Structure 1
Amino acid sequence: MMFDIPTAKATLEILVVQSDWYAKKDTGEVFASLQGFSPIPKGSKERPNARGFEFTGYNCDPAVLEQINFDQGPVKMKFETAVRPTRDQYGRIENKQVIVAIVHDEPAPRQQPNRANPQAPASDAAKS
């Protein structure tokens, strides 16, 4: 029996202020992360009185970091995320939201008026 199991993917837009990575000495495994500045969600059960903005950390694929350019300061970016089993620096494995790619929004194509066949106005002779 075959099942069509949907993947848990989403998009996330944040103001990226920092990126970082490190390699585990014994395995060479690379851990990458970035930090973003985002609004505190209203109605949060954990912090019901909090208002304003916060720094939020995200795990990400190392290839994502290569595409972030801080030359002009913090950068607002849109990312694709997926839930993956991740291992932290202590060896614990948890399912977490991980940034897997940068989403490049393509501008909608403009409709150009068809200038090859312009509509000719009706002549007065045709009206009579």
Structure 2
Amino acid sequence: MFDIPTAKATLEVLVVQTDWYAKKDTGEVFASLQGFSPIPAGSKERPNARGFEFTGYACDPAILEEIDFARGPVKMKFETAVRPTRDQFGRIENKQVIVSVVRDEPAPRHSASRQSSTQTAAPAVPTADSSKGA
């Protein structure tokens, strides 16, 4: 009947910290990360602010396993979705939550070489057909 789109977005963050805790009574795991990001120009909330700020994001616990700080802060791209989340006080709110890591993989080189060899072979076929008709 209706094709309702999901509220997803891509977010790029310089990740500087991760954290998680488990709620004692339910065992539910809450995970978060903090990133260093530029303050948006023309922000209505802080019109005079310039520079950079730390921003916290809720995330799926599995995301933390994919972040490696071996060489310091990590610039990563994430997919986010709006989800109803429960905070440690039991309140439910719709929030942007990081749900997966986006990996920018370059296109395989062998497929490009196949296309170029196919394109060079294609003109030879019509030339052969045109010589038969003459």
**Shorter-chain-normalised TM-score: which range?**
0.7 to 0.9
How many residues get paired? 117
* Runs of 4+ in structure 1 over 6 Å off: none
Identity across the alignment (%): 83
Take 2:83 and 2:100, find their aligned partners in 1: how far apart are those partners?
Answer: 14
Q: State the SS of the aligned residue for 1:105.
A: coil
Shift of 1:22: 0.1
Query: Does structure 1 residue 58 correspond to structure 2 residue 48?
Result: no
Take 1:74 and 1:100, find their aligned partners in 2: how far apart are those partners?
Answer: 20
Gaps of 5+ in 2: 122-134
Deviations 1:14-51 (A, max 9, x none): 10000000000000000000000000000000000000
C-alpha RMSD over aligned residues: 1.7
Shift of 1:105: 0.7
Q: State the SS of the aligned residue for 2:19.
A: strand
- The residue correspondences of 1:3-18 to structure 2 (distance < 5 A) are 3-18=2-17
Take 1:27 and 1:103, find their aligned partners in 2: how far apart are those partners?
Answer: 30
Gaps of 5+ in 1: 119-128
Question: Could you tell me which residue of structure 2 aligns to residue 29 of structure 1?
Answer: 28
